[in-house]
Amino acid sequence: MQRDSEERTRRALALLDRLESGAPNRVTANLKAFDEEAVDLILGFAFADIVSRDGLDLRTREMLTVAMLSAMGTAPGQLDFHMRAAMNCGVKRSEIVEIVYQVAVYAGVPAAMNAITSAKKAFAAADA
């Protein structure tokens, strides 16, 4: 099996655009200012190799990502992004509410409070 690096980047950025329209340009610029290969190595792995796989729909995957980032609590900027991305992928507000309550059970109330702050920003952005 051959893998074409350019094609892989294209798939990664296409997935990223589904998460948030316009994100590919911004994220690509950010990563290239760090290192030329970051788009390939990091986005390629995350979005072309894994998140764009069949077997789970993107909507479910974003629910998982929101839950994981909320529970870990170490990447608030990424959590803000994936709260918006989840909504862009069709996750309903009521479902985000349920995820946040479940975070309270498995990672504690402070993790849930952080997730509430992030969710409210995403809700407001969707209303704007």
Min separation Cβ 21 and a copy of itself, Å? 20
Tell me the site size for a copy of itself, rule CB under 8 A: 63
Supply the DSSP symbol for 74.
S
Binding track, positions 51-80, relative to a copy of itself; x by CB under 8 A: x-x-xx---xx-xxx-xxxxxxxxx-xx--
Alpha helices in 20-108 (DSSP H): 23-32, 38, 58-72, 76-88, 93-107
3-state secondary structure 91-116: CCHHHHHHHHHHHHHHHCHHHHHHHH
Instruction: Please tell me whether residue 99 binds a copy of itself under the rule CB under 8 A.
Output: yes
Give dist(CA 81, CA 102) in Å, integer. Answer: 20
Min separation Cβ 95 and a copy of itself, Å? 6
Q: Which is nearer to a copy of itself, 88 or 91 (CB)?
A: 91
Instruction: Please tell me whether residue 21 binds a copy of itself under the rule CB under 8 A.
Output: no
